[in-house]
Amino acid sequence: MDRHPWLRGQTDPALSQSCLTDDYLRASASVDLVASVHIEANWDPADPLGEIDWLSALPRPDGIAMRHVAYADLGRRDVASDLEAMAARDIVVGIRDIVSWHPDPARSAVTDKHRMADRDWRAGLARLEALDLSFDLSMSPWQIDDALALIRDFPGIRFAVNHCGAPFDRSPEGMAAWARGLHRLAEAPNVVLKISDLVAYDPDWTPQSLNRVSRACLDAFGPARCMLGSDHPVVELHATFEQAYEHFRQCFADLSGPEQYALFAGNAADFYRLPRPPNPQAAS
């Protein structure tokens, strides 16, 4: 396809080859997978509807890529027409426009740390409520103040903070600041936290280091407001799908049956408007 510019020149097997339905099913074969959500993958921004239509045309079993979080450049003044066209497709339930900023420009997705405060960008975001679209918020700990202001200023929009809120800084001070930020975000009732791709920030991970992050996420948001994500295939830069899931299974083994069901299935089903799987006493 060659419609993902960021993948050009990649040499790691996780990103240098196609990942289609059969590849995804092989990677997740050890998991009782009942449904999945596709999060936009930085498709060519000049063709924002292309990824949706390409994905919808792929042959895939029931439940796989059942919902789609699409990309839109919310700061573009004519973004309304794209958002309306996306919302008209039943598969699309949310939008992501990555705003993550890092002091190191090489690790930033945006040049403006305060992108979330930009008037034009906020005007685009404001359109999501009337279209019943959620927003996947990919930000960093250096943006907690702006993120919390954004979430509070748009109480009618449902936000999902991506990738544990991005614990980039692994120093004791950095991790403490990150955890405090999660607790601050959790004060807003219209936001949930996605525990996903922990290994991106911890490539030399151990079970203990992953547990510290996952349990800090759970401590901040609780089992009723967290959901799990694989970030496959990007996760395979540092771990397999099976390793990611096994971490979740072991880390949250002490939760009650209903809590595990919410964390592993129910919360994501509710947020992304998926049918709830049966057996509410077991994680799926």
Q: Mind listing the pLDDT tens digit for each residue in 35-64?
A: 999 999 888 888 989 999 998 998 888 889
> Residues 151-163: what's their mean pLDDT?
98
**Which range (7-21, 76-90, 182-196) has the least confidence?**
7-21
- Other beta carbons less than 10 A from residue 109's beta carbon: 15
Q: Is the pLDDT assigned to residue 224 strictly greater than 90? A: yes
The span from the CA of 210 to the CA of 199, in Å, is: 8
For β-strands 37-39 and 92-96, DSSP reports them as unpaired
Q: Note the pLDDT of residue 90.
A: 92
Confidence grade of residue 284 (pLDDT, cut at 50, 70, 90)? very low
**Which range (6-15, 86-95, 138-147) has the least confidence?**
6-15
* DSSP symbol at 266: I
Q: Note the pLDDT of residue 6.
A: 61
Q: Note the pLDDT of residue 1.
A: 53
Q: Which two tokens stand for residue 26?
A: 């092989």
Report domain extents, the chain: 69-271
Whole-prediction pTM: 0.94
Q: Is the pLDDT assigned to residue 2 strictly greater than 70? A: no
Domain 69-271: give its CATH architecture.
Alpha-Beta Barrel (3.20)
The span from the CA of 124 to the CA of 194, in Å, is: 23
Q: Which two tokens stand for residue 101?
A: 């900023």
Give the rounded percent of residues in the chain with a pLDDT score beyond 90.
Answer: 82
Q: Which two tokens stand for residue 38?
A: 């596709």
Computed over every residue of the chain, the mean pLDDT equals: 93
Q: Which two tokens stand for residue 45?
A: 């921004």
- Other beta carbons less than 10 A from residue 41's beta carbon: 16
